[in-house]
Amino acid sequence: MQMFFIVLFLGLTALFGYQFFRTKVSQKKRASFYLVLTICSAIFLAVVPMGFGTIENGQIGVVKQFGKISGVKEPGLYWVFYPTTKVEIYDTKVQRNDIFTAAYSQDSQSMEAALTIQFKIQPAYVKEINSEYGNLERLTQNIIAVSEERLKVVLASKSAMDLIASRSSLSSMIETEISQSVNKYYVDIVTVSLKDITFNEAFESAVEQKMIAEQDKLKAEYDKEKAIIKAEEQLEVAKREAEAAIAKAEGDAEAIKAIAEAEAEALKAKSIEIARMFGFTFNEDGSINMDGKTAEEIKVISEYLKYAEYLAKWDGKLPNVIGSDAGIIIPMP
């Protein structure tokens, strides 16, 4: 663009000079013309091209005339009278700054903290920024100083263990603190991120040992609970097995009793049949009439009836001991 105006000026100068030399003038006038032409050319080349400039997207310009703010220029091509007017460019894009600082927790544990803060200026207040802070660099220095101070305040409000436990929420807490503190600087906070907290080696070692102890404690509690559960399971299995054994024993006893009752009924029927074979008669209540019978006949029938009565009354349980033919008492298992 500057080259275009230079070429234009030279072209106009050449055209004017050509017209001037076509006329008959004295040598003195020619010398005066050369002097004026040289002065005008110098002024033109020094003032006009230097007054042009460009403001890119993501920038804004503050116009100053004789050092006093006279306006604002948006992105695009501009021209100002360079000797008296200047344009100071401000970046309106997101600015990133990394902060590294030493800090202390509430319980006086020392640490090193790394914080990243991103912000951008508010274009509507660029004249106030220029007036109060002079330039973007000085404004950034103020924001960094305030951010560092707010970071230390937040870290000092919690114990070291609380800082470790609440690490995920610290960034939002710090961002809130910084946002409330820098609103007078005409900027918008984009994001604040706590990158790292490093405690001293002694504390780091103590935390590691505590974590190991807690893990061991949790493992012991887990093993204890596991052993209790296993014991309860074994007890439940034993209980069910015992109940099954009892049920089986009771079922066997009932089965034996039922068999005995059936055998008793069979013996009773058989005794009646034998009684009839021996010519016994029966009373009205169904009992056998023993009148007129020999002792041997009565003994046979009586043995059947006694065994049948025993089977009918037996509960299915075996005796603890039994007698042998030799009179020896044998314990039952």
3-state secondary structure 122-164: CHHHHHHHHHHHCCHHHHHHHHHHHHHHHHHHHHHCCCHHHHH
Among residues 66, 64, 69, the alpha carbon closest in space to that of 87 is found at: 64
296-318 pLDDT per residue, tens: 767 776 766 666 566 555 555 55
Among residues 262, 275, 276, the alpha carbon closest in space to that of 303 is found at: 275
**Per-chain mean pLDDT for the chain:** 75
Residue 120 — very low, low, confident or very high, per pLDDT cuts 50/70/90? Answer: very high
d(CA 314, CA 311): 5
pLDDT the model gives residue 93: 94
Residue 99 contacts residue 114 (beta carbons within 8 Å): yes
SS3 content of the chain, % helix, strand, coil (to 5): 60, 20, 20
Residue with token string 């009992």 = 287
Residue 98 — very low, low, confident or very high, per pLDDT cuts 50/70/90? Answer: very high
Among residues 106, 5, 94, the alpha carbon closest in space to that of 51 is found at: 5
- pLDDT above 90 (res 145): yes
Residue 146 — very low, low, confident or very high, per pLDDT cuts 50/70/90? Answer: very high
Give the CB-side neighbour count of residue 244, counting CA atoms within 13 A.
6
Residue 331 — very low, low, confident or very high, per pLDDT cuts 50/70/90? Answer: very low
pLDDT the model gives residue 34: 61
Where residue 108 falls (left for φ over 0; alpha for ψ -120 to 50; beta otherwise) is left
271-302 pLDDT per residue, tens: 676 667 667 677 776 677 777 677 776 777 67
